[in-house]
């Protein structure tokens, strides 16, 4: 249940971020050229995607490390 609610939160956050970027892109296009606005929006989106990937990768690695420690301890217990 917690995992599913986490995915819902990520989906809502992604939608809000997309709406914000569309709004910012429209404002940038009115003050600069559409080409520059597109590059700025895609650059910020790329940096944000990289940051989110890094955070979730680190969380996944920590969870995998905890699972491997638990399974090794259980195997040692079962052997003894």
Tell me the pLDDT tens digit for each residue of 2-33. Answer: 577 888 888 899 899 889 888 888 888 899 98
Residue with tokens 């090794």: 72
Residue with tokens 């609610």: 5
Q: Which tens digit of pLDDT belongs to each residue from 31-49?
A: 998 888 888 888 988 998 8
Domain ranges across the chain: 2-79
Q: What is the pTM of this model?
A: 0.54
SS3 annotation, 5-71 = HHHHHHHHHHHHHHHHHHHHHHHHHHHCCHHHHHHHHHHHHHHHHHHHHHHHHHHHHHHHHHHHHHH
């Amino acid at each position: 249940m917690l995992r599913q609610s986490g995915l819902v939160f990520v989906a809502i956050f992604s939608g809000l971020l997309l709406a914000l970027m569309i709004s910012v892109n429209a404002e940038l296009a009115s003050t600069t050229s559409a080409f520059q606005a597109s590059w700025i929006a895609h650059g910020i989106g790329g940096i944000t995607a990289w940051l989110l990937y890094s955070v979730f990768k680190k969380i996944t690695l920590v969870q995998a490390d905890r699972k491997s420690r638990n399974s090794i301890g259980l195997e040692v217990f079962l052997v003894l």
